[in-house]
Structure 1
Amino acid sequence: MIRPINRDQTWLQRVAKPATPKDTAVITDLQDTLRAHQDHCVGMAANMIGSDRRIIIAQLGPMAIPMINPQIIEKHDPYLTTEGCLSLSGQRQTKRYRSITLQYLDARFQPQQQTFNDYFAQIVQHECDHCDGILI
C-alpha cells in the first residue's frame, strides 16, 4: 500500500526499533511507496511512512532492495555532499563515505553482509541515518 510521506521531525528523530518477521507488511508498503515516488526518490526508511521499525529500501538501477535492521560496520573515504529528502524541504550538506560495509537481513530475514560504494553507499547511509533518528 502506498503510504503518505511523514514530515513530522519529532517522529523522524526517534530511533527505530528492530524489525521482526511480523513487520513484512512494512516492507511491501516501502516498496509500493518508493515505486510511487520513483521519479524523484531513490531510497526510503520505514519512519518516512510512519513505521518505527528499522527497515530501509534503496533503489539500485531497476531493483529496489529492502534491508532489515541495517548496521554500518565499516566506513571509508569521507566526503561532503548535498542531499535532499522527501520528508524535509530543501537540501543540506552532510558527510558521507564512499565505501561502507553493511550487515542486514534480506526480505526473507536471512543475514547478509555487503560492501557498497559511491552513490548506492550514499543512499544506504542516508536511510540508515533515518533509522537512527538522524536528519540531514
Structure 2
Amino acid sequence: MTVKTIINNQLTLSQKSVPATQDDLQDAIDLRDTLVAHQNQAAGLAANMIGVNKSIIAFYVGPLAIVMLNPKIISVKNPYLTEEGCLSLEGMRPTQRYKEVEVEYQDMQMKKHREKFSEFTAEVIQHEVDHCQGKII
C-alpha cells in the first residue's frame, strides 16, 4: 500500500489533467490507497491532489473505494446549492451541484462504462471531476 502526500498547492491543483492510460494504473492504485488512508477525512480524491496530473478519481460507494480513469460527466439533473470541504483546502465553500449525474469512464482494466449516480456519491464525483478540470471550489 502506497500512501501519497496530499497536495495543497493551488497552482498544481488549478492545472487541467491529461488523459490517463494503461501506463498510469500504478498512480490509480496509489490514489485509491491514499483515499483509504484518509477515509475518515475524505469521501473522494483526484490524482492531482497527490501530485499526478492525470484524469483519475477515487471515491467511496458505501464501503468500496472505486477508481475511475478519464471520467466525463455527460448529463446532470436537479441542481442544488451546497457547501463542500476539500482535503486540499481549509474550510467549507459554497458550490452548485446536481443530484443526479451520468458518467462515462474507464475502469482499472481500461474497459469503458457509462453509469448513473445520485445524491452524495454524485456530489463527490462532481467535486473530483472538477479537480481533474483544474476547478477548485
Q: TM-score range with shorter-chain normalisation?
A: over 0.9
Listed one character per residue, the Cα deviations across residues 94-129 of structure 1 (whole Å, up to 9, x for unaligned) are: 000000000000111100000100000000000000
Q: What SS does the aligned partner of 1:89 have? A: coil
2:100 & 2:36 partners in 1: Cα distance? 26
Worse-matched range after superposition: 27-36 or 77-86: 27-36
1:114 & 1:26 partners in 2: Cα distance? 23
- 1:31 to partner: Cα distance: 1.2
The question of 1:14 aligning with 2:15 is answered yes
2:83 & 2:41 partners in 1: Cα distance? 15
1:133 & 1:126 partners in 2: Cα distance? 11
Note the 1:19-38 alignment, pairs <5 A: 19-38=20-39
Q: Hey, which of these two has a bigger chunk of strand by percent?
A: 1
AA paired with 1:98? Answer: K
- How many positions carry a matched residue from both structures? 136
The question of 1:104 aligning with 2:101 is answered no
Identity %: 44
- 1:62 to partner: Cα distance: 1.1
Q: Match of 2:43?
A: 42
AA paired with 1:73? Answer: I
Q: Unpaired segments of 5 or more residues in structure 1?
A: none
TM-score (norm 1): 0.99
TM-score (norm 2): 0.98
1:121 & 1:28 partners in 2: Cα distance? 22
Listed one character per residue, the Cα deviations across residues 27-69 of structure 1 (whole Å, up to 9, x for unaligned) are: 1111111111001111000000000000001111110110000
Q: Unpaired segments of 5 or more residues in structure 2?
A: none
